[in-house]
Each structure stands twice: as structure tokens, then as C-alpha cells.
Amino acid sequence: MNQGRLRSRSGDIFMVAVLAANLVFCVASIVWMREDLKRERIDKETTLVATKIQDVLWGKITLFASVVRGDGEPPNGLGRISGGMQPSIVAGDLPAEWNFQRLRMGGGDSRRIFLGTPRETSNHEYALPLAELLPDRLGGKRYFVGTVSIGELAGYFKDLKRRGILCFLTDEKGNLLLGDSNEAMRKAAFSPAGKAHVFAEALANGWSAEVYLEKADVGIAFFPQAVVAIFFVFSTSMLVLLRYRYIRPLKVGFEKISDSLAAHGEMLPGRMQPHYVAGAVTSRLSRYKLEVEEERRKVEEDSARRSREMSQKYTDLLAHHRITKKMLQSRQYNEVFDTLRDGIAEGNGFQGTLIGKVSKDGYLLFQEELDPATGIPLRVPLWKPGFLLARIFWSGNNVFHPSPLDLPHMREEEDLVGSGPAYFIPLMRDIQVRCAEVKNCGDRSCPNFFSNNMKCWLHHLSSDQFLPDVDPEFFREPLLACLNCEVFPGAALAIVRSLPEGKAVSRENILPLSSLASEAALALEVVNLHESMKIMAITDGLTGLFNHREFYQALRRELVRARRYRHAISLLIIDVDDFKQYNDRFGHPAGDQALQHISEILRKCARTTDVIARYGGEEFSIILPESSPAGALMVAERIKTEIASFNFIQDITLDIKLTVSIGIYTSDGGGVTEDQMVSYADEAAYTAKKSGKNRVVVKAPS
């Protein structure tokens, strides 16, 4: 084993040496490549600068040559000429200080142009001396001499300097012809120069453009260097891969297997042989196989258990959906309560579920539980805070308690609550409107005005009302007022008890019950909306009496009953006298209040079996089943008297009275249609109005 480790260590040292050599080669290649790329960039910049200088100078030479007239004579009027020409002269010889050289232009040299050394003028501008030998017509030499401004070259050199490039124009001896002499002193700090000839073939002693780069390695191509670096990484990875995957001796593998087996309790002989290792591996794998089989068995059992749980959850979900659907399809409160109770008892296994419904007189009424002494259903008064159920109901929150009888309670509640854990669910309608929208309230200081939370009693009632030792009668009136409010959401209280024959209530299994309670709240609101829509469809919005359509349907039903049982039926048509003048005098709001007062008087004077309706406008109608003409006349006279004696506006000192004209028609056996009966009664009312108003007229049967 030690020999294998030593051999492995020697291989690692050799691998490190190879990788180091590979790294040195890669670094040297990159350095050489960078130097080559720098030189290439310097040559490129030098060529561009030389080309630029030569193009500018040729342009100036062409400009100068174009000044001389076609006949070989200087231009008329020497001096400054357009195009950057400086003052020019005609001389017999060339100035020696300007170092003129003959410019070989090619094409037979028909014109002899001389180029001087660039110089700096008195106004710190650069000028290029130029001369042309004029044709000999008088027996002597004449030269047209002038200078051309080359300030653009100086500007070009400054632009190159801002880019980190120094540029100079020198002669063949290295003398500075064009460029900043101060910068020429620090050119050694720049990279090695690039040099290119200018006018190499046009001048005997040619000029050169020297270029120095401050940062020659900036901007060089990155791709070739990246290729070399990638090659190094690839080659290194391949060497490491070959070493550790294919080249390492077999002993290293045996060593790792031996160490693993030793860690798992398998002891191998000192001199390791392959068959020993194979035997140990086989033994260990056999034991692992048994362990895996055991683990597989546990996994299968756990999977089966989870599958049963999922199946049960799916069944519970279906039951929840079925119960919710049935509750939402209910059209009465009792149907919702019964469905919820059956769903909790059968669908969730809580057999001891009770639901106490809120009665109009302020009790929780439990129909399933009877008082042993009286045999009547148990009732819990909601205005008595000593009752545990009353306090839970007014809290509006679901409550779970492992031992509710440990809380303050009354003796009558012990049979309802039970001795085990219990879960209490106040069933509240899920009202989706604000209190102000229902009650037409304008009190914006009310905490519930802008809220959809209908638990307004928590803001308006004192917390002292819900203490167990408070006088039960002291807060009875405000609590009953809340119960009778049209926006009060409380409808019932569900008690989920733990019974020996049922499932025990715990915090873990009550979550589905809360969900069902929420669905029940929505179902209760649906029932309430359905009831409200039914009432709105058959009643008049102002008076609360039956509307015109329901009046005709009720009259049709009563006529059918009258024909079937051979009894009489009477109809009263009541028309308010001079109601238009009343509206014109006191306004339409007062007229609406008067119609409401009249409807209350009609309810008070009519029987419980009579059907009272607002026929339209200021006309009312009353259907009197099984009523003779004499009985109908008595009712009509009582109505006429009550209305005539009622003061309709009580805020002023004067008595404001209204009267009515009433028409009566009675049918024996229902032998007329509803339209005929209405027509006869309306004709009688018209006769009463024509006869002086405030009268009752009976239409005789035809």
C-alpha cells in the first residue's frame, strides 16, 4: 500500500513538471505574440502618418504649381495669394538657408519645382518653402519663390499626441524638420519608434516620418492571445484528465477500494491482491443488498401509507365539495344548517355536532337537544353574558378549547358543551356590502361606515357587556337591537363536540371545519340575497306592500279558490283624494311619507288573511277572501275613518288631513275574471270620487 502511494506521488511530481513546462511555453508564446502585435501596430501607425504627411505635402506642392500661369509667367501682383500661400518673390537664385532640393515629379519633369526645408514663421506657424524655375526668355535664370502654410500638419501632430502618439518629420541625418522640439527630448520614454520614408523617390535626400507610441500594448488584438490561453487550459485539462482517469496505476484504485472497505469494517491482508479485494467487495455488496431490500420494504410501506392518506384527503375534498355545493344550492337557512351539520357529522366524523339557531327573541335554539325537565328544545339567551355560548357567539371568532367546562359557564350548557374538547363556530353571513349602503346611513364618523366588516357591535357595545358577572338585563336592549338589525350577520352557533362513538376534536383535525364554516357563511348570504330578491320582486319599494304584479297573481289565486270552494271574495280599490294638490303644496317627500302612513293604516285595519297592495300611484287595493259585501264595507269604513282622522304632518301646528275614496266589488263564487273584478271595483271608486270624495261605494253584482 505504501509502495502504491509512493508510485502515485512520483507520477504527481512528473505531472506538475509537465504542467509547469506547459505554462512557461504558454507565457513565452503570449509575450512573443504581444511583441509581434505591438510591432505590427507601430508599423501600421507609421505608415498611416507617412501617408498623411505625404498627401498633405503633395497637395501643397500642387497648389503652389497651380499659381504659375500657363505661359510660365508669375501671377500678376506678387504677394499673398489665396489657398494658404505666403508672400512670394521672383529671384535670380534660390536662398541657400532653405536647403532647396529638386523635386522629381515624373512624367518628363516638364516643370522644375524645388522643395525647401519646413520652417517656423514669426507668428509660430509652419511653412513649406517652394520654388519653380521659370522659362529662360531674357538670357538669365528666374525663380518663382514662395511658402505654403502647413499648419494642418501641426494640428494633425497635436491630435496624434492626444492619442498617445508622438510624430516627427526628420531629414536623412536625423535633424528635426517638423514637430515639437520639447517632445523630441522625451521620446525615449515611449515605445521603440516606427520609421517611414517621405518623398523617398522624389528627393535626393529623402525625409522620414518617425512615430513613437506611449502605450503600444493598448488596443492590440485580444483574440490570438485568448486562443493561446485556451490552448493552455485545454492542454492542461487533458493532461490532468489523462493522469487521473487513465494513467494512474491500478494500485491506486485498489488502495481506494481497500480504504473504503476498511472504513466499512472489512479487514484485508497486508499484501493486497486483486482477488482478495474482489471477495471483500462481493461480501460487502451482499450485505448491502439485504439492507437495500429492507429499506425498499420500508419505502413501499411509507408509500402505501401516503397513498392511503392522499386517497383519504381526496375523499374528504370530494365530500367538502359536495357539501359546499349543496349549501350554495340551498334557498333556506334551515337547509344550510342541516347540510352543514350532516357534513361535519358524516363527512368529517364528528357525530356530536349541534347547531343553535338565532331566534328573533334573542335565543340560541338547539332543536336536537331537549330539556329533560320540560321536553322543549334547549335555549341559550344571548343577552346573558354568564352563558359561555353567548360570549363565544358575540366574539364572532372560532374557538377551540380542550376543556370548555373549565371556563365560566351556566349549568344549562353542560349537556350542550360536553366534557371533552370542543370547537365553537359562530356562523356569520358573508355580507359583501357596507352598513351605510343597506341602512342608508350618513354617519361618516361610524367606524363601520367605510368597512365591509359587519361586526359593528364590537365597536358600539362596551366590553363590559360580555363579562360573566354583569347584570344580564342591563344590556339586553342594545344586544337585542343588534340581533334585529337588518345587517347583523350572525345566524347560528355550531358546536363540534367530542363523543365516545365519534372522532375526538383536536387542533389538527378542525381545519376542514373552518373551511366549511366559511362556505356556510357564503351560502347564508346567498340565501339572504335570494330572499331579498324574492321580496323585492313582489313588493313596492316605498310602502313595503305587494306590487301591481303580485296583486294580480294573488287575485288570480283567490278567484280560483273562490270557484273551487264556492265562497265570496271582495276587492277594495282605495284612491287618495286630491293627492296631486298635496304633493304640490308640501312636496314629493311629504307625499311619499303620506303614502307610507296610509300603508301602515291599511295594515292595521285589514285582516291577516287579506292581501294589501299598492295598485299604482296613490291607489291601493285590498283583496278580502271569504268576505261578504257587508264585511268588506265595514273594513272600508274603518279605513276611511282612520285615514281621515290621521295628521300626516305632525311638525306643524295645523292638522294636515287626507281622505280616500273607496270602491268595493264582491263576487259570489268567483264567477268573474280578475280584470273584470278590478274594473268593477275601480268603477265604484270613481263613483265615490265623483260623489264628493271621502266616500265608500259598493258596486252591485251584474
pLDDT single digits (tens) 308-351? 989 888 888 888 888 889 888 888 888 888 888 888 888 788 88
pLDDT tens readout for residues 264-310: 666 666 555 666 667 777 877 888 888 899 999 999 999 999 999 89
The enclosing H or E element of 513 equals helix 511-538
Residues of the chain with pLDDT under 70: 1-11, 68-88, 106-110, 122-124, 136-140, 181-193, 214-222, 242-255, 261, 264-277, 430-470, 472, 702
Q: SS3 of 309, please?
A: helix
Give the HSE-up count for residue 692: Cα atoms under 13 Å, Cβ half-sphere: 2
For residues 588 and 231, what is the distance between their CA atoms, to the nearest angstrom? 99
Distances (CA, A) of 567 to 95, 328, 552, 669, 702: 153, 43, 19, 5, 17
Whose CA is closest to 639, among 562, 575, 555, 569? 575
Give me the helices (H) in 107-244, please: 151-162, 181-184, 223-241
For residues 657 and 638, what is the distance between their CA atoms, to the nearest angstrom? 16
DSSP state of 669: S
Contacts by 280-284 with C-beta closer than 8 Å and gap 24+? 281/257
For residues 353 and 369, what is the distance between their CA atoms, to the nearest angstrom? 11
pLDDT at residue 80 in the model = 44
User: Which residues partner with 85 through β-bridges?
Assistant: 81, 148
Distances (CA, A) of 489 to 363, 444, 485, 496: 15, 21, 9, 21
Distances (CA, A) of 389 to 408, 436, 530, 672: 10, 30, 29, 58
User: What DSSP assignment string belongs to 682-701?
Assistant: HHHHHHHHHTTSS-EEEEPP
CB neighbour list of residue 227: distance below 8 Å, 6 or more residues apart: none
pLDDT at residue 78 in the model = 46
Whose CA is closest to 192, among 54, 392, 409, 41? 41
Tell me, yes or no, if the pTM score tops 0.95. no
Grid cell 493486497 — which residue? Answer: 272
pLDDT at residue 79 in the model = 44
pLDDT at residue 573 in the model = 96
pLDDT at residue 82 in the model = 45
Sheet of 352-358: strand order equals 377-381, 363-370, 352-358, 490-497, 422-428, 399-401
DSSP state of 539: B
Backbone angles phi, psi at 617, to 5 degrees: 60, -125
Backbone angles phi, psi at 431, to 5 degrees: -75, 130
Whose CA is closest to 288, among 306, 265, 271? 265
The total number of residues shown for the chain amounts to 702
Give me the helices (H) in 272-374, please: 274-328, 333-342
User: What DSSP assignment string belongs to 416-445?
Assistant: HH-SS-EEEEEEE----S-HHHHHT---TT
pLDDT at residue 108 in the model = 57
